[in-house]
Amino acid sequence: MRKILIAEDDFFIRDIYSKVFSLSGYEVQVAVDGIDALEKIKANHYDMILLDIMMPRMTGIDVLKNVRTLTTPVKDTPIFIITNLGQQNVIEEAFKLGMDGYILKSQVSPQQIVDEINSYFINKESVPQQ
């Protein structure tokens, strides 16, 4: 079973995402803000991390930055940003920092996010690592 961390400060959205991922066969853990997320990432192994950007205490972009500069294998965990911020410069910054995908929250249903994450894993298995 794939283990996934969902970092999202809004109670309802966090609840929806954890339900939909659990129902789709993922083992779900949640974080309520950026610091919480970073602590959990350091202490656990995840197959995927989903980060909101606008979170209290630490933004998702900063979590991403921190994870990618770690020295443990954790630094290569796939990270998707799931946010309502659609500005090109934010997206490009996240790409430069090494995120693996960017999903505009308001534009997709929770199931579409699951589908996207599923297809990410399918692609990853079929494409040889470089």
Least separation, in Å, of the C-beta of 108 and other proteins? 4
Q: Which of 44, 45, 75, 95 binds other proteins (CB under 8 A)?
A: 95
Scanning 14-22, 32-40, 41-49, 66-74 for contacts with other proteins by CB under 8 A, the matching segment is 14-22
- In terms of phi and psi (left: phi > 0; alpha: psi -120 to 50; beta: otherwise), the region of 128 is beta
If the CB atoms of residues 56 and 86 are measured against other proteins, the closer one turns out to be 86
Q: Which two tokens stand for residue 86?
A: 């659609």
Among residues 66, 69, 35, 34, which one has the least CA distance to residue 52? Answer: 34
Going by their DSSP bridges, the two strands 27-31 and 79-83 should be labelled as unpaired
If the CB atoms of residues 44 and 112 are measured against other proteins, the closer one turns out to be 112
Q: Which of 1, 71, 73, 88 binds other proteins (CB under 8 A)?
A: 88
Going by their DSSP bridges, the two strands 3-7 and 48-51 should be labelled as parallel
Q: Which of 27, 39, 76, 92 binds other proteins (CB under 8 A)?
A: 92
CA angle 98, 108, 89 (to 5 degrees): 40
Q: Which residues bind other proteins (CB under 8 A)?
A: 10, 12-13, 16-17, 19-20, 23, 84, 86-89, 91-92, 95, 99-112, 116, 120, 123, 127, 130
